Amino acid sequence: EIQMTQSPSSLSASVGDTVTVTCRASQGVNNYLAWHQQKSGEPPKLLLYAASRLETGVPSRFSASGSGSEYTLTITTLQAEDVATYYCQQYYSIPWTFGQGTKVEIK
């Protein structure tokens, strides 16, 4: 099983800031890496897939990059509506696994 480790577990930033979340896999996942956003009381929502491809309808302030076993999610110009928990997910090898989540709050 591929273990996914996110950092930080939580962060607090101001509106307009740029925030970065890191996801590290216990082995390479060949860019089969997705990022999901989950707001309180809601189901998750896919933001990006294939390491860096933006899902249709997702604002362009969300971006992601990485390769091998290290990936990052970047939110530029943080908005109040971006308050949520963000999860990375590998879909390279079953069982699919998720990071533990990064909670993003507004300062």
Partner 1 sequence: VQLVESGGTVVRPGGSLRLSCKASGFTFNIYWLSWVRQAPGKGLEWVANIGKDGSEQFYADSVKGRFTISRDNAKNSVFLQMNSLRVEDTAVYYCAREVGATDRWGLGTRVTVSS
**Residue with smaller CB distance to partner 1, 20 or 38:** 38
**Residues in contact with 106: Cβ distance below 8 Å, sequence separation at least 6, in sequence order:** 12, 13, 14, 15, 78, 80, 83
Q: What is the pairing mode between strands 102-106 and 10-13?
A: parallel
**Residue with smaller CB distance to partner 1, 15 or 91:** 91
Residue 32 makes contact with partner 1 by CB under 8 A: yes
Residue 50 makes contact with partner 1 by CB under 8 A: yes
Terminal-residue alpha carbon distance, the chain: 36
Name the one range near partner 1 by CB under 8 A: 15-23, 39-47, 59-67, 68-76.
39-47
Pick one of 36, 62, 66, 69: the residue that binds partner 1 (CB under 8 A): 36
Residue 69 makes contact with partner 1 by CB under 8 A: no
Instruction: Report, in Å, the least distance between residue 31 CB and partner 1.
Output: 11
Of 62, 56, 75, whose CA–CA distance to 13 is shortest? Answer: 75
